[in-house]
């Protein structure tokens, strides 16, 4: 085995925001810390733990699988929604169990009939691949997918679409806007993903990390 001096840096891409914070809390329980990342006011994007030869960087969630596929990061922490939507060539190795929510088809109660009768409806979503896969391959229903970038719940309210495919966590956004879960597409949570070459080259370090995380989660 390499001595610590000879080890290369193992690089982590974390999706900015809540997932990154929860991931760091989990790492901390395994003895992996990154002091400089705890500074709330920092605008830095890369953080280093020299002692353990680790680097962490903060990326936009949907870009995490891209960094991992190209090997710019060995490991990524990202939501299952992003993994499904980005469909990158990466290994998904661990369900971290936090960031739990559901991908759902939502809309006003009246839209339920349209789903039952396989009508040609409009579906607004930030996740066109997931929505397309669900309607075309699982439900065998032809729909028109409309890509939006946020505040998806607006679409059925203002008449842009009949339903939406979106993340439901507490359900408050739906409730406050008079919408309902009509169908569940899949459960979601944070996952650890690994670059396919890194998994071979750094097999020992990465499998130990997965094992350590499993024990503390
Ligand atoms: C997400 C999601 C829903 C909401 C669900 O939006 O798209 O709108 O959270 O959470 P809830 O069930 O707890 O209400 P986000 O806050 O990420 O903003 P967005 O509108 O930019 O997608």
Q: What global pTM score does this model have?
A: 0.94
Does ligand 1 lie within 6 Å of residue 17's CB atom? no
Closest-CA residue, ligand 1 atom 19, reads 150
* The predicted structure's pLDDT at residue 114: 94
Tell me, letter by letter, the H, E, C secondary structure of the chain: CCCHHHCCCEEEEEECCHHHHHHHHHHHHCCCCCHHHHCCCCCCCEEEECCCCEEEEEECHHHHHHHHHHCCCCEEEEEHHHHHHHCCCCEEEEECCCCCEEEEEEECCCHHHHHHCCCCCEEEECCHHHHHHHHHHHCCCCCEEEECCCCCCHHHHHCCCCEEEEEECCCHHHHHCCCEEEEEEEEECEEEEECHHHHHHCHHHHHHHHHHHHHHC
State whether the beta carbon of 159 lies less than 6 angstroms from ligand 1: no
Residue 35 has what pLDDT? 77
Q: How far is the CA of 167 from the centre of ligand 1 (A)?
A: 6
Q: For residues 124 and 152, is the Cβ–Cβ distance under 8 A?
A: yes
Pocket test for ligand 1, best of 81, 173, 187 (most atoms within 8 A of CB): 173
- What per-residue confidence (pLDDT) applies to 2? 53
| Å from CA of 98 to ligand 1 middle | 16
All structural domains of the chain with their residue ranges: 10-99+189-216, 101-187
CATH of domain 101-187: 3.40.190.10
Residue 106 Cβ inside 6 Å of ligand 1? The answer reads no
Rounded distance from Cα 185 to ligand 1 centre (Å): 16
Is there an atom of ligand 1 within 6 Å of 184 CB? no
Fold match between domain 10-99+189-216 and domain 101-187? yes
Q: Which CATH architecture has domain 10-99+189-216?
A: 3-Layer(aba) Sandwich (3.40)
Distance from Cα 212 to the centre of ligand 1, integer Å: 31
CA of 96 to the centre of ligand 1 (A): 20
What per-residue confidence (pLDDT) applies to 91? 98
Per-residue pLDDT of the chain (217 residues; tens, 9 = 90+): 555 557 899 999 999 888 888 999 999 999 998 777 777 788 888 999 999 999 999 999 999 999 999 999 999 999 999 999 999 999 999 999 999 999 999 999 999 999 998 889 999 999 999 999 999 999 999 999 999 999 999 999 999 999 999 999 999 999 999 999 999 999 999 999 999 999 999 999 999 999 999 999 8
For atom 10 of ligand 1, the residue with the nearest CA is 169
């Amino acid at each position: 085995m390499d001595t610590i001096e000879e080890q290369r840096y193992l690089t982590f891409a974390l999706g900015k925001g809540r997932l990154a914070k929860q991931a760091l809390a989990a790492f901390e329980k395994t003895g992996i810390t990154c002091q400089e990342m705890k500074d709330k006011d920092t605008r830095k994007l890369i953080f280093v733990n020299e002692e353990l030869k680790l680097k962490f960087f903060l990326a936009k969630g949907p870009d995490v699988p891209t960094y991992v596929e190209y090997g710019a990061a060995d490991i990524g922490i990202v939501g299952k929604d992003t993994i499904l939507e980005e469909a990158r060539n990466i290994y998904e190795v661990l369900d971290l169990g936090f960031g739990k929510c559901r991908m759902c088809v939502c809309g006003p109660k009246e839209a339920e009939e349209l789903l039952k009768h396989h009508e040609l409806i409009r579906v607004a979503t930030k996740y066109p691949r997931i929505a397309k896969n669900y309607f075309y391959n699982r439900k065998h229903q032809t729909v028109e997918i409309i890509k939006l970038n946020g505040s998806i719940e607006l679409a059925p309210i203002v008449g842009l679409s009949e339903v939406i495919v979106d993340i439901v966590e507490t359900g408050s956004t739906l409730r406050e806007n008079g919408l309902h879960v009509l169908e569940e597409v899949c459960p979601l949570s944070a996952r650890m993903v690994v670059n396919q070459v890194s998994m071979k080259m750094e097999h020992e370090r990465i499998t130990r990390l997965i094992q350590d995380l499993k024990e503390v989660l």
